Amino acid sequence: MSDANLTTEKYEKHREAGRILAEVRDATTERVEVGASHLDVAEWAENKIRELGGEPAFPVNISIDHEAAHATPSIDDDSTFGEEMINLDIGVHIDGWLADTAITVDLSGNPELKEAPEEALDAALETIEPGVHTGMIGAEIEDVIDGYGFNPVVNLTGHGLGHWKQHVPPNIPNRAVDSGVELEVGDVVAVEPFATDGSGKVNEGASEEIFGLDRERSVRNRQARQALDQITESYKTLPFATRWLDVNRAEMALRRLKQANVVHGYPVLQEEEGTLVSQKEHTVIVTSDGCEVTTQSID
């Protein structure tokens, strides 16, 4: 593929999603402060995405301290921010073409843990070009995080972004690995280093507020049918939140859909030793001479 092909409608929509996302991410971080509501911040960001002409690619993730991913406020969540480490993970799509970004807001007083994935991401982006092996990108990430005295989260990875699909190959590891692939011009990937002062592994918790469609099938319960109609029409195969469903007894409807193997949940992922996790993520398009960061802040 030549760079001329990177001007097609698909890539322009990736870029527009990234432009919206960068603006929303930067504005959302300013709203994170001690005492602010998780639900208010998440809904403000999601509404701002729509106001700017995009749609959320997944519910805004607000992960606190030992949480790494898949945490989002519930329908009536009254949680507020404290003196904590907060990871914001936000996505935007334009007609199913995605951008994905994340940033840590540190209210816990651990600046070096916040800086480690930021510097690791910068180092990773400098290596990206056609032909680079994904294991080499992981080695750059691991080297920087190790240099700070922390561990990369090894069982979380960056990933490709597909059409209406948040996670597709290739995986972008956060450590040096022998397996993997070489990147090609036109690949759209999210690179997301995670750092921790713990063991470097995450486990699934019990909480689920984010779900995704597995397959369509008939269901007998009226609320479940209404929920499925909304899911297939509005979200397709992208993740959605319980609080997004405009049906009575949404939680019960989702339980029925899950029991029928229509949807699956995304359990909150948390550091196995209960220690702090930080994160930084950008989406890039691989070009002939490097990469284009679609989620870069606009000065």
| Residue 70 marked ligand-binding | yes
| Residue 100 marked ligand-binding | yes
**Among the options 67, 281, 282, 292, which is catalytic?**
281
Counting other chains too, the contacts that 37-44 makes at CB distance below 8 Å and 24 or more residues apart are 37/77, 37/78, 37/79, 37/80, 38/62, 38/73, 38/77, 38/79, 38/80, 38/81, 39/73, 39/74, 39/77, 39/78, 39/79, 39/243, 42/72, 42/73, 43/73
**Among the options 43, 143, 146, 167, which is catalytic?**
167
**Among the options 46, 192, 209, 292, which is catalytic?**
192
Q: What is the number of helices (H) and of strands (E) in the chain?
A: 6, 15
| Residue 66 marked ligand-binding | no
Assess contact for 187 and 170: CB atoms under 8 A: yes
Catalytic status, residue 192: yes
Catalytic status, residue 100: yes
| Residue 122 marked ligand-binding | no
| Residue 14 marked ligand-binding | no
Assess contact for 194 and 154: CB atoms under 8 A: no
**Among the options 55, 67, 89, 197, which is catalytic?**
89
| Residue 167 marked ligand-binding | yes
**Among the options 159, 209, 271, 282, which is catalytic?**
159
Catalytic status, residue 159: yes
Q: How many CB atoms lie within 10 A of CB 135?
A: 17
Catalytic status, residue 281: yes
| Residue 76 marked ligand-binding | no
Catalytic status, residue 66: no
Among candidate residues 86, 102, 85, the one with its CA nearest the CA of residue 21: 102
**Among the options 16, 100, 119, 142, which is catalytic?**
100
Binding site listing for a divalent metal cation = 89, 100, 159, 192, 281
Binding site listing for substrate = 70, 167
Binding site listing = 70, 89, 100, 159, 167, 192, 281
Residues labelled catalytic: 89, 100, 159, 167, 192, 281
